[in-house]
Amino acid sequence: MSSVAASPSLPASGTVRARRPSVLTVYRWELRKLRSQKRTYMGFGLAVLLPVIFVVVQNLHQHHDHGGGDSIFAAQITQSGLATPVLMLLFESVFMLPLIASLVAGDVVAAEDGNGTLKTILTRSVDRGQVFAAKVLAAVTYGAIAVFLSAGVATVGGVASWGFNQITTFSGSVVSAPEGLLLVFAANVCYLIPLLTVVCIGVMLSTTTRNSTAAVVGTVGITILLFIIAGIPGLEGIKPYLLTEQYENWHGLLRTPTDWAPIWHSLWVCALYAVPSLIAAYLVFLRRDVAGG
């Protein structure tokens, strides 16, 4: 600013009422922020790496061991490439995908607090509610992309290694390859129900703790805690209502006839976790003092 006098003229101060940006605009920018951060790629890297490692290892060992395992899909690993994404979902649904989703969900509000940028965006032409909605949508988008990225890599790797062949479901019926592919997609969609619940819990912790690490660890910690509770003898009665039990809701899709009950059950059980978490986060975000930075 050494030559202020020679600088271009200042923008005229405005009196015209501006058209305010929509949630969609804020959401797009939340995605752009995610794209600019290393943390984003760390999660996606994990989502890609695990199926790649799985496929490579299975290729190396296929002549020694034709699966077996305790799952019907493990037994089919070298017979149909579509078994790979199902197995990956079995493995990753319990811990890895919730962890990946937590990386962003736990960070999405707390990071803004840590950087002091919350005050920067809250003094523009968007309301707090819009910012909150955009952040939730961005975290949900990230979780969904991670799930489908992992499934996509597993499907491509599996099909490339063992072919696009028919597959036998949990109930022992054989489905064609195209139908099997559709079921793999549908299974991942169903898995989003509990995963997005994890995202909601992550956003709640991110908003209330204002600390990224605490929120990420807390979200994963809640998942582990629920697993431990599920394993305590005498608490079998509450097991169907634990979030972690809903990670297997998609199994019903891979039966003939399709068993929809676990999916409907997971919908309302997950709502019991997700809705209060989101409402609490929203109220805290709306009323909080932005005093840092």
Partner 1 sequence: MLGTRATEDAARDDEAPPPVKARGLVKRYKDVLAVDHIDLNVQAGDVYGFLGPNGAGKTTTLRMALGLITPSDGAVELFGRDPLREGARALEGVAGFVEAPRFYPYMTGRKNLELLAALDGAGARERIEEVLAIVELVPRGKHKVGGYSHGMRQRLGIAAALLRRPRLLILDEPATGLDPAGMRDMRALIRRLAEEGITVLLSSHQLPEVQELCDRVAIVDRGKVVYEGALADLRRQGGAGYRLRTSDDARALELMRGRQGIEQPVVGEHGIAFQAQESDVGALSLALGAAGVGILALSPELATLEDLFFRLTESNGADPASPEGDGRPPAAGALVGAP
Tell which one of 100, 104, 108, 126 touches partner 1 (CB under 8 A). 126
| DSSP state letter for 257 | S
Binder to partner 1 among 11, 68, 172, 231 (CB under 8 A)? 11
Alpha carbons within 13 angstroms on the beta-carbon side of residue 78 total 14
State both tokens at 261: 């009950």
Binding partner 1 by CB under 8 A: which of 57, 69, 120, 264?
120
DSSP-derived secondary structure for 100-153? HHHHHHTTTTHHHHHHT-HHHHHTSSS-HHHHHHHHHHHHHHHHHHHHHHHHHH
Alpha carbon separation from 110 to 118, 125, 165, 169, 206 (Å, rounded): 9, 21, 46, 43, 5
Q: Which residues pair with 167 in a beta bridge?
A: 175
1 binds partner 1 (CB under 8 A): yes
Residue 233 makes contact with partner 1 by CB under 8 A = no
Does the footprint of partner 1 cover residue 29 (CB under 8 A)?
A: yes
Q: Per CB under 8 A, does 12 bind partner 1?
A: yes
* 128 touches partner 1 by CB under 8 A: yes
Residue 28 or 239 having the CB closest to partner 1: 28
Q: DSSP states of 172-195 as a string?
A: S-EE-HHHHHHHHHHHHHHHHHHH
- Region of 116 please: left (phi>0), alpha (psi -120 to 50) or beta: left
Nearer to partner 1, 33 or 265 (CB): 33
Give the residue with the Cβ less far from partner 1, 11 or 172: 11
Q: Of residues 52, 74, 96, 122, which one binds partner 1 by CB under 8 A?
A: 122
Residues in the chain: 293
Is 36 or 60 the residue whose CB approaches partner 1 more closely?
A: 36
Least separation in angstroms between residue 290's CB and partner 1 is 4
Shortest reach from residue 199's CB to partner 1, in Å: 22
60 lies in the site for partner 1, by CB under 8 A: no
Q: Is 41 in the site for partner 1 (CB under 8 A)?
A: no
Residue with tokens 């959401």: 27
Q: What is the token pair recorded at 80? A: 């149909």
Q: Is 116 in the site for partner 1 (CB under 8 A)?
A: yes
Contacting positions for partner 1 (CB under 8 A): 1-5, 7-8, 10-21, 25-26, 28-29, 32-33, 36-38, 115-117, 119-128, 287, 289-291, 293
